[in-house]
């Protein structure tokens, strides 16, 4: 993949690197502008080795050391040391560091070490319904279908990416998000696949249910210093989003409510809840820490012209002939 540096230009760039937690935009709203990342060892769902949402600092440090040491051992085993680059060429953080942003620490939110982003249910797991599990399993089986481009998933087709949300989820790859504010809109630009979600402010009425754009239909408003964003009417093409160890199901009844609150000079508390009685047995909630990234967004050139999809289908036709 080829990347080239690109900058989101416009009147609002002067505010991107404000560094005061109480900073306000030129429109008197709390300033959320800038480039942010959710890079962390904290995961959406709680790992089985943790029994609670919050652990002690001592427990956290021990876990972080074990995780980093295990990763370093795996790196050594994966790389042929005889052909490994010299220390001069080392860009840091081990194998794959040229494209992976591998976290080192669990998230600390208001002084608490968090073992999962999910805060409700108490077990830190997504509360799927039996219907959702069947739908997700069926979608995963469909991944073996190479009959044509329409059946391939949205990421292979360079349409959207799984991280774009809502909700916005952490990833070791393409995790940066840029926020730009105006009086009547907020733009949430995701590094991966150049997805830009445009939130209409003060317009609380959603579009008709027949209109289902990619990433849903988002409207927002301010509650004090917190930006609240409500999204419904998700596109059927993103019905199932998979993230490795878990998947999310979106139906005609899915509603995602997000809350962005600046809690420190370099931190945004991103809280969200997902409501859908068809897909989930209860409304589930999460709190995610977004930290300021000391960089700009890089262009994400999806498949350098999307050659990959053609190659995938070409390989499938070759298999059929054989």
Do residues 216 and 166 touch, judged by C-beta distance below 8 A? yes
Predicted local distance difference test score (pLDDT) of residue 14: 35
* CA pair distance 262, 253, nearest whole angstrom: 30
236 contacts: CB under 8 Å, gap ≥ 6 = 212
Pairing mode of beta strands 247-249, 240-242: antiparallel
Report the range of poorest mean pLDDT among 9-18, 147-156, 224-233.
9-18
160 band by pLDDT with thresholds 50, 70 and 90: confident
- Greater confidence (203 vs 11) lies with 203
In terms of Cα–Cα distance, which of 262, 11, 284 is closest to 123?
A: 284
**CA–CA–CA angle 243, 245, 250 (5° rounding):** 50
Q: How far is CA 236 from CA 141, 214, 239, in A?
A: 18, 9, 5
Instruction: Give, for 180, the enclosing helix (H) or strand (E).
Output: strand 177-181
Do residues 85 and 154 touch, judged by C-beta distance below 8 A? no
Do residues 38 and 176 touch, judged by C-beta distance below 8 A? no
pLDDT in tens, 247-294: 999 999 999 999 999 999 999 999 999 999 999 999 999 999 999 998
- Greater confidence (118 vs 20) lies with 118
87 band by pLDDT with thresholds 50, 70 and 90: low
Do residues 230 and 252 touch, judged by C-beta distance below 8 A? no
Buried b (16+ CB within 10 A) or exposed e, 145-183: ebeeeeebbbbbbbbbbbbbbbbbbbbeebbbbbbbbee
Ranges of each domain in the chain: 11-55+104-321
Spacing of C-alpha 52 from chain mean position: 23
Three-class SS of residue 25?
A: coil
* CA pair distance 66, 284, nearest whole angstrom: 30
Residue 190: phi and psi, rounded to 5, are -100, 140
By CB atoms closer than 10 A (0-12, 13-18, 19+), residue 321 is: exposed
* CA pair distance 274, 292, nearest whole angstrom: 25
Three-class SS of residue 194?
A: helix
Checking if the pLDDT of 243 tops 70, the result is yes
């Amino acid at each position: 993949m080829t990347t080239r540096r690109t900058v989101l230009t416009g009147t609002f760039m002067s505010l991107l690197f404000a560094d005061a937690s109480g900073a306000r935009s030129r429109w008197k709203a709390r300033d959320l502008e800038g480039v942010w990342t959710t890079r962390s060892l904290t995961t959406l769902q709680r790992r089985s080795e943790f029994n609670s949402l919050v652990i002690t600092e001592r427990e956290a440090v021990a876990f972080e050391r074990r995780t980093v040491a295990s990763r370093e051992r795996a790196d050594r085993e994966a790389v042929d040391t005889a052909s490994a680059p010299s220390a001069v060429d080392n860009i840091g953080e081990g194998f794959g560091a040229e494209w992976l942003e591998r976290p080192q620490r669990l998230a600390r939110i208001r002084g608490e070490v968090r073992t999962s982003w999910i805060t409700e249910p108490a077990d830190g797991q997504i509360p799927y319904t039996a219907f959702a599990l069947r739908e997700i399993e069926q979608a995963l089986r469909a991944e073996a279908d190479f009959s044509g481009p329409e059946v391939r998933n949205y990421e292979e087709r360079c349409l959207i990416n799984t991280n774009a949300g809502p909700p916005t989820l952490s990833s070791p790859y393409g995790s940066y998000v840029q926020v730009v504010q105006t009086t009547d809109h907020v733009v949430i630009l995701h590094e991966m696949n150049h997805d830009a979600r445009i939130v209409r402010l003060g317009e609380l009425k959603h579009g008709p249910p027949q209109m289902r754009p990619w990433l849903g239909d988002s409207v927002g408003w301010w509650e004090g210093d917190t930006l609240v964003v409500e999204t419904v009417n998700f596109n059927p093409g993103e019905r199932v989003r998979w993230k490795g160890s878990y998947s999310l199901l979106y139906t005609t009844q899915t509603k995602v409510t997000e809350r962005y609150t600046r809690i420190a000079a370099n931190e945004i508390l991103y809280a969200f809840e997902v409501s859908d009685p068809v897909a989930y047995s209860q409304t589930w909630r999460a709190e995610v820490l977004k930290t300021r990234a000391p960089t700009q967004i890089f262009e994400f050139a999806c498949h350098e012209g999307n050659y990959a999809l053609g190659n995938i289908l070409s390989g499938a036709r070759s298999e059929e002939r054989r």
